[in-house]
């Protein structure tokens, strides 16, 4: 079974609109972390937001928020007020356990295109 599932290979959104990128995960470890990264065409991986499994509140970082529904094992990324510069590939990732040496498992990604 896939540990991280992103079901949207591509998404379009109009500038200034909000968009939700879906991510579901599968783990039996009670301690885990969920990450979202943005990868523009240059290839660099840009960290966007983090949610720990024990965090009570949904994470927010500027225009990014994470809709964490633990019982449903979903961690959707919401981007508000989309900008043209948001056009990129977005990856959801999970780290099982709490150690920094624990590996990340990535989803297949969602290509987001922001249109005028």
The residues that touch another protein, with contacts defined as CB under 8 A, are 33, 35, 37, 42-45, 47, 50, 52, 91, 95, 98-109, 111
| Beta carbons within 10 angstroms of residue 56's beta carbon | 6
Question: Which CB sits closer to another protein, 62 or 81?
Answer: 62
Over its C-alpha atoms, the chain yields an Rg (Å, rounded) of: 14
CB of 43 to another protein, least distance (A): 4
Q: What token pair was written down for 63?
A: 């225009």
Question: Which CB sits closer to another protein, 30 or 99?
Answer: 99
Would you give the DSSP letter of residue 86? G
């Amino acid at each position: 079974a896939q540990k991280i599932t992103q079901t949207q290979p591509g998404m379009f959104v109009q500038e200034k609109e909000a968009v939700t990128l879906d991510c579901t995960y599968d783990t039996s470890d009670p301690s885990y972390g969920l990450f979202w990264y943005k990868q523009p065409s240059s290839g660099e991986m840009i960290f966007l937001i983090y949610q720990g499994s024990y965090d009570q509140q949904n994470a927010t970082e500027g225009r990014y928020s994470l809709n964490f529904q633990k019982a449903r094992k979903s961690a959707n990324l919401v981007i508000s007020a989309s900008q043209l510069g948001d056009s990129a590939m977005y990856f959801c990732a999970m780290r099982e356990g709490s150690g920094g040496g624990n590996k990340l498992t990535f989803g297949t990604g969602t290509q987001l295109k922001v249109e005028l």
